[in-house]
């Protein structure tokens, strides 16, 4: 059974800092990995999708990398801003079962 | 541009009561999903509908039923609510269709449900 872990559960940084969020998964036979953002009281917003054949994806100040062999993905946020404060979740889609397994998220606070 | 709309946003029920959570999407997506989100357990798939007219169980279907009323609407019903069903429920949709489980792309803002 696929398990997805995100450590730390919470992170607080000053504005302007570059930061890395981590996501690890136990079964490397994945189809793709997706990073989401969730604001308080809201649903999830898809940020980046990395296919299993890709090593990274970039969107603006966000860069996500994928290392299937080690079962890890990182989300890099450059020049963090208070508006980046949210919970960030990763989800892996299994090749075989085809379903997505979500991590519990890392809650990021960027202080002005 | 509404996206995925869920109603109600909040609900308190007593044990044994029934209710239906409503979800509608205006993006002409084929696939729709119901998840529950609980602390320490991530999002877990309850039911999904790969395309209009089909529904399938997800990871935690017990105590729930669903109806894909048409391409736009996918409802979740609790027949006899239990305290263990206290959670935040999210509906999602995706343009991926066909068989199997697709990949949720667009989420509603959730229904916060408390069972006393």
Which chain A residues are Cβ-neighbours of B45 within 8 angstroms? 99-100
- The residue with greater pLDDT, B1 or B61, is B61
Q: How far is B63 from chain A (nearest CA, A)?
A: 21
| C-alpha closest to that of A55 among A37, A69, A40 | A69
CA distances from A46 to A50, B35, B63 (A): 11, 16, 29
- Ramachandran angles phi, psi of A98, nearest 5°: 75, 5
Q: How far is B79 from chain A (nearest CA, A)?
A: 25
Q: How far is A90 from chain B (nearest CA, A)?
A: 10
Q: Could you read off the pLDDT of B12-46 as tens digits, one per residue?
A: 999 999 999 999 999 999 889 999 999 888 899 99
Q: What is the pLDDT of residue B2?
A: 74
Which chain A residues are Cβ-neighbours of B40 within 8 angstroms? 104
Q: Which two tokens stand for residue A11?
A: 């992170």
- Is the per-residue pLDDT at B98 higher than 60? no
Mark which residues 53-72 of B lie under 8 Å from A by CB.
58-59
> What is the arithmetic mean of pLDDT over A6-22?
96
Q: Look up residue A9 and give its DSSP letter.
A: S
Q: What is the mean pLDDT of chain A?
A: 93
Q: Could you read off the pLDDT of A40-78 as tens digits, one per residue?
A: 989 999 999 898 889 999 999 999 999 999 999 999 999
Query: Which residues touch B97 (CB under 8 Å, ≥6 apart)?
Result: B30, B31, B50, B51
**What is the distance between the alpha carbons of residues A40 and A102, in angstroms, rounded to a whole number?**
17
- Is the per-residue pLDDT at B106 higher than 70? yes
Q: Could you read off the pLDDT of B33-83 as tens digits, one per residue?
A: 999 999 888 899 999 998 888 899 988 999 999 999 899 999 999 999 999
> What is the arithmetic mean of pLDDT over A76-95?
94
Q: Look at the alpha carbons of A72, A75, A78, A83 in this order and tell me if their dihedral is positive or negative.
A: negative
């Amino acid at each position: 059974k696929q398990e997805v872990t995100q450590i730390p559960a919470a992170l607080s940084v000053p504005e302007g800092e570059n930061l890395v969020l981590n996501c690890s998964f136990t079964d490397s036979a994945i189809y793709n990995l997706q990073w989401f953002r969730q604001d308080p009281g809201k649903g999830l917003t898809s940020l980046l999708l990395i296919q299993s054949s890709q090593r990274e994806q970039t969107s603006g100040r966000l860069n996500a990398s994928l290392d299937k062999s080690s079962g890890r993905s990182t989300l890099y946020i450059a020049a963090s801003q208070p508006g980046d404060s949210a919970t960030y979740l990763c989800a892996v889609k299994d090749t075989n079962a085809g379903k997505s397994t979500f991590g519990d998220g890392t809650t990021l606070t960027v202080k002005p | 541009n509404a996206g995925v709309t869920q109603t109600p946003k909040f609900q308190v029920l007593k044990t044994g009561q029934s209710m239906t959570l409503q979800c509608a999407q205006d993006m002409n997506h084929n696939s729709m999903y119901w998840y529950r989100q609980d602390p320490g357990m991530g999002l877990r798939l309850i039911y999904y509908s790969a395309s209009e007219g089909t529904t399938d169980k997800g990871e935690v279907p017990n105590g729930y039923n669903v109806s894909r009323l048409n391409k736009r609407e996918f409802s979740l019903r609790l027949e006899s609510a239990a305290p263990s069903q206290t959670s935040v429920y999210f509906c999602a949709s995706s343009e991926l269709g066909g068989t199997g489980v697709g990949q949720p792309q667009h989420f509603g803002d959730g229904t916060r449900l408390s069972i006393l």
